[in-house]
């Protein structure tokens, strides 16, 4: 795992989402759980709509997890899968997400680290050791040509971005 602090400009995304407990039926990193099904819906939309004038045309795909009040109680959160777009005026099948400019911890995960338990250690070990706290309740996974698919995760690389803020000297925000 490689980590670095970086600043991301704002991003406008267009895609599809799921809200609920995405791993209740199937565990994490399974193409048959709700995250996998959300990816399947989005990829089907892309195949059926190759001409997308609203798309920025970048070969990057985003998976955004948005956590809220039901996350700790029920395991519910929103999973958004999409691409960068140049307008929020999208076909009815898609929704838009605006990701604001912020400082982020960029974690580059290699091979089996991708499907490991890094996210369990994020708040209690990784961010704490760097002197940061999560700034908001979302994270962004960015998929490019380095991600070779779930069948080839050992040869894959994935970037994850967590919005952060610096802790003060006593470890408080």
Q: Which two tokens stand for residue 28?
A: 């994490």
Closest CA relative to residue 1, chosen from 162, 171, 167, 163: 162
Average pLDDT over residues 65-77: 87
What pLDDT is attached to residue 173? Answer: 43
DSSP of 93-114, one letter per residue? Answer: T-EEEEEPPEEEEEEEEEGGGG
* pLDDT, tens digit (0-9, with 9 covering 90-100), for 91-136: 999 999 999 999 999 999 999 998 888 877 777 788 888 888 888 7
**pLDDT band of 25, cuts 50, 70, 90:** low
Question: Percentage of the chain with pLDDT > 90?
Answer: 62
CB burial of residue 56 (10 Å; 0-12, 13-18, 19+): middle
What pLDDT is attached to residue 135? Answer: 80
Q: Is the pLDDT at 29 greater than 60, yes or no?
A: no
Write out the H or E segment, with its range, that includes residue 129: helix 127-130
Do you know the residue count of the chain?
173
CATH match for 2-166 among 3.30.950.10, 3.40.50.410, 3.20.80.10, 2.150.10.10: 3.20.80.10
What pLDDT is attached to residue 145? Answer: 96
Three-state SS sequence of 7-30: EECCEEEEEEEEEECCCCCCCCCC
Q: What is the DSSP letter of 60?
A: -
- Distance between CA atoms of 103 and 1, rounded to whole angstroms? 19
- Distance between CA atoms of 31 and 29, rounded to whole angstroms? 7
Q: Which two tokens stand for residue 7?
A: 């600043």
List the domain boundaries for the chain.
Answer: 2-166
């Amino acid at each position: 795992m490689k980590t670095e602090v970086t600043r991301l400009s704002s991003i406008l995304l267009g895609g599809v989402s799921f809200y609920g407990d995405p791993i209740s039926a199937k565990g994490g990193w399974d193409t048959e759980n709700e995250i996998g099904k959300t990816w399947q819906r989005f990829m089907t939309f892309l195949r059926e709509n190759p001409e997308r004038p609203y798309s920025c045309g970048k070969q990057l795909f985003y998976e955004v997890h948005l956590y809220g009040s039901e996350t700790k109680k029920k395991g519910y959160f929103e999973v958004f899968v999409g691409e960068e777009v140049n307008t929020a005026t999208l076909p009815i099948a898609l929704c838009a997400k605006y990701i604001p400019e912020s400082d982020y911890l960029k974690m580059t995960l290699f091979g089996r680290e991708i499907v490991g338990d890094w996210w369990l250690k994020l708040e209690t070990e990784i961010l704490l050791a760097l002197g940061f706290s999560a700034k908001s309740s979302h994270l962004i996974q960015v998929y490019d040509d380095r991600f070779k698919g779930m069948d080839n995760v050992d040869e894959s690389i994935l970037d994850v971005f967590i919005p952060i803020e610096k802790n003060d000297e006593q470890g408080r925000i």
